[in-house]
Amino acid sequence: MNIDTIKNGYVIDHIKAGQAMEIYDYLRLGDLDCSVAIIKNARSQKMGRKDIIKIDQNIPIDIDVLGYLDPNITINVIRNNEKVKKFKPDLPEKLVNVISCKNPRCITSIEQELPHICILTDPENRTYRCQYCESKVN
């Protein structure tokens, strides 16, 4: 397998095995006009198996989405063929238009142009609630 090195972009590593396509969809990586490599089920001493996404372009990445989907991943920022930063995303306190409220009585089901805002209410259990009706969202 031959995957080019990243000149300027990101390597999203330590993704739970099988979850790379979900991240790919949430970040809308299919809309990009650059190389995006998805490595599924790579061997990992730490995790057993993991997924990796390599993006060969300096684009804005929604760190909140990554923190919500998998707070255990690592994000490597690559500039001029070198890793300049490595970090883990935090579990976001607030999500906007990432997950939707399913309560049929919620104002978001009537006023469709309203943003879907969810607030983290229980970090230990990763529980989010709708800002408008306080229904559990995840």
Residue-wise pLDDT for 41-57, tens only, equals 899 888 899 999 999 98
CB 92 within 8 A of CB 67: yes
pLDDT at 4 over 80: no
Query: DSSP readout, 32-88?
Result: -SS-EEEEEEEEETTTEEEEEEEE-S-----HHHHHHH-TT-EEEEEETTEEEEEE-
Q: Which residues are 28's β-sheet partners? A: none
Record the pTM: 0.81
Segments making up each domain of the chain, as ranges: 9-87, 94-130
Residue 12 pLDDT class (50, 70, 90 cuts): very high
- What is the model's pLDDT at position 114? 93
| pLDDT value of residue 40 | 93
Summary mean pLDDT of the chain:
91
Q: Dump pLDDT digits (tens) for 83-97.
A: 999 999 999 999 999
Does 1 score more than 90 pLDDT? no
Q: What mean pLDDT is predicted for residues 28-50?
A: 89
Q: Are 127 and 120 in contact (CB under 8 A)?
A: yes
The gap from C-alpha 58 to its chain's centroid, in whole angstroms, comes to 16
Q: So what's the pLDDT on residue 2?
A: 52
The amino acid present at 77, given as its one-letter code, is V
CATH code, 9-87: 3.30.70.140
